[in-house]
Amino acid sequence: MDHGQSRAGHGARHGHGRLAGNVGRWRDGRLCDRLPHPEPVSPPVWGREGALAASYLPVLSEQIERNRAGGWQLASVTLTWLAIGLAGIVLVGETLVGILWLANPHHPRLELLLGLVAVMLPYLFCICLAAQVSATLHALHHFGTPAFVPVLLNIVWILGALVIAPWWATDKSSQAYVLAISVLCGGVLQLAIQLPILHRLGFRYDYDWPAARQGVSRIVATLLPMLLGLAVTQINTLLDSLMAWVFSSPQPRTPIGWLGDSWDYPLRQGAAGAIYYGERLYQLPVGVLGITVATVIFPLLSRHAARGDRDKIGADLSLGLRLVLFLAVPAAAGLFLLAEPVARLLFQRGEFLPEDTLRTARMIRCYALGVWAYCALPVLVRGFYAQQDPHTPLRIGLGVVSCNFLLNLVLIWPLAEAGLAVSTAVAAALQVGWLAVAFARKSGHLDWWEMSGTLLRSIVATAAMYGAGLAVLGSLPDDGGLTHQMVAVLAPLIVCLAVYLAVSHALGSGEWRLLTSRQGKSSDARNDLGQMRGRDRGGNGSAS
């Protein structure tokens, strides 16, 4: 769509670069497992796509529409209390770390873990506050800087892992500290870079609790339902991991004692690791496509919801879903096609053996079946959140989690760990259909005809793309070197991209023109999206 979306995509790709750097550098000492990693906690709650931003943005957009000064008051109060709360969490955490350190002398591994936690805790303060500042910028229709700052964090992270840490020290513990400090510096930069942009766009700090109290109360009232609604896919993946741990055995054909020895364990040891790596890979298109489209479309949805324009809300959401289908269908096919080459390139070194690559590739392919649904979910859910309805996605999400759990229990026996991934994909598809029907019934129309046309054209173009990529992949020589591994990923990827765009153009797909143009031309939603891009690239976006 614009440079902001492109940067968001780079952020997700750099995230996988830092994962590969961590795996390669600390596999032998297992320090990668002990390094504190706040991301599993921060995004569902405070991250750019987290519950606090989702509950905050519609209320702030509505307030800015009515009275910009009132919007500054609401933003000031929210940011102030968030900063105070995060500072309290960090101080309590640092105190507990200090107590544990003093109570457990002469335990090198525990001391290392506690030391890393102490260094990383302030990162939680920076990254969560930066995410809320990003949401404020989104309410002002500025996307470039919020999309760039995660890229900056990932660059600092990768430099710390691959350049600074080995240059600074040779022992693994010192290198882990260097990486932790690098991550903290990246978090500080994320926050510091956005504040001048916010000021330039007109924000002035104005703490007025009585004036902002009603808005803050509305944010708090919807926070927990939104947190649970946004975390459904993460909860399902967590269920996958828990099932993998419970039903795994180091030896084949080992009876399950707590089931009366009448059933053998269906999984082999290592299933949880295969799920983890598979999850990291399927999250790449979700971060690049689903979250990016949702992040851009959410302020537009919130603005039209604040005006009570239900027709435009439906047009906005239909447009977002069409963009997701146009991008996510080929992404799913590409991930399925390149699962093994990508797993080999990123992970196959040290203790990660060829059989581990094949096992991980199988998980990636199974998760890839639901990539289109994983990408559509953030967009659909925000259609409800923009109208300050967090309860419908929550109710549907709880039903989907139950369905996923039952599918896990059924499919784990014939399909082993692949059954867990298939269950998650099926549950995500069910959730998409359920949410779409609920939105159409409650909130207004969805353009089913246009979305069906987009889906059909994407499937045809994807089929041609997959055939071309498969031919290229089959023509490459079998060589285990790093150069060959990179070619085995990049060559089919480039060919697939070219074929997909060419066939889409021949079929008359308008989504690519919309994504690459400044101004949409055929609907109000497109016009609004084009205006947002124009503002971001123009006066408001010059710094981005």
Residues 6+ apart with CB under 8 A from 516: none
The reported pLDDT for the residue numbered 117 is 86
The pLDDT of residue 260: 65
Q: How far apart are CA 307 and CA 442, in angstroms?
A: 17
Looking at residue 444, what is its pLDDT?
A: 66
For residues 173 and 404, give the distance between their C-alpha atoms in angstroms, rounded to a whole number: 40
Does the reported pTM lie above 0.75?
no
Least confident of 347-356, 371-380, 530-539: 530-539
User: Measured on CA atoms in the order 34, 416, 403, 54, is the torsion positive or negative?
Assistant: positive
**Where does the pLDDT of residue 198 fall: very low under 50, low under 70, confident under 90, or very high at 90 and above?**
very high
pLDDT value at residue 336: 96
541 confidence band (pLDDT: 50, 70, 90): very low
**Cβ distance 106 to 86 under 8 Å?**
no
Packed helices 271-285 and 232-246: angle between N→C axes, nearest 10 degrees = 160
Best-predicted range by mean pLDDT (33-42, 77-86, 380-389): 77-86
**Token pair of 348, please?**
């196959």
Q: What is the mean pLDDT of the chain?
A: 81
The more confident residue out of 427 and 3 is: 427
Query: What is residue 35's predicted lDDT score, i.e. its pLDDT?
Result: 46
Angle, helix 291-307 to helix 51-66, in steps of 10 degrees: 40
d(CA 364, CA 374): 14
pLDDT of residue 158: 79
CB 196 within 8 A of CB 133: no
pLDDT in tens, 98-123: 998 888 777 777 788 888 888 888 99
Q: How far apart are CA 20 and CA 258, in angstroms?
A: 38
Structure tokens at 58: 């519609």
Tell whether the model's pLDDT for residue 45 goes beyond 60.
no
* Exposed e or buried b per residue across 24-36, where buried means at least 16 C-beta atoms within 10 angstroms of its C-beta: bbbbeeebbebbb
In whole angstroms, what is the distance from residue 120 CA to residue 118 CA? 6
pLDDT at 86 over 80: yes
Q: Is the pLDDT of residue 132 over 80?
A: yes
- Binned at pLDDT 50, 70 and 90, residue 273 comes out as confident
Q: How far apart are CA 213 and CA 460, in angstroms?
A: 52
Residue type, 173: S
Measured CA angle at 133 (ends 127, 134), to 5 deg = 85
pLDDT at 335 (0 to 100): 95
Going from the C-alpha of 515 to that of each of 287, 294, 522, the distances in angstroms are: 17, 14, 13
531 has pLDDT over 80: no
Quote the pLDDT of residue 49.
56
**Where residue 525 falls among pLDDT bands split at 50, 70, 90?**
very low
**DSSP secondary-structure letter at 522?**
S
Contact between 240 and 275 (Cβ < 8 Å): yes
Alpha carbons 224 and 202: distance in angstroms, whole number: 31
In order of 281, 456, 460, 467, 503, the CA distances from 500 in angstroms are 21, 13, 9, 11, 5
When pLDDT is cut at 50, 70 and 90, the band that residue 457 belongs to is very high
Average pLDDT over residues 257-272: 75
User: How many Å apart are CA 490 and CA 338, to the nearest integer?
Assistant: 10
Reply yes or no on whether the pLDDT at 214 is more than 80: yes
Assess whether pLDDT exceeds 80 at residue 3.
no
pLDDT of residue 352: 81
The mean pLDDT value for 431-441 works out to 93
Each residue's pLDDT tens digit, 494-518: 999 999 999 999 998 888 777 766 4
Domain ranges of the chain: 1-227
Instruction: Give the separation between CA 170 and CA 136, rounded to whole angstroms.
Output: 43
Q: What does the radius of gyration of the chain's CA atoms come to, in whole angstroms?
A: 24
User: Given this model, what pLDDT does residue 310 score?
Assistant: 84
**Cα 118 to the center of its chain, rounded Å:** 26
Q: Read off the pLDDT band of 534 (50, 70, 90).
A: very low
CA gap 303, 449 in Å, rounded: 25
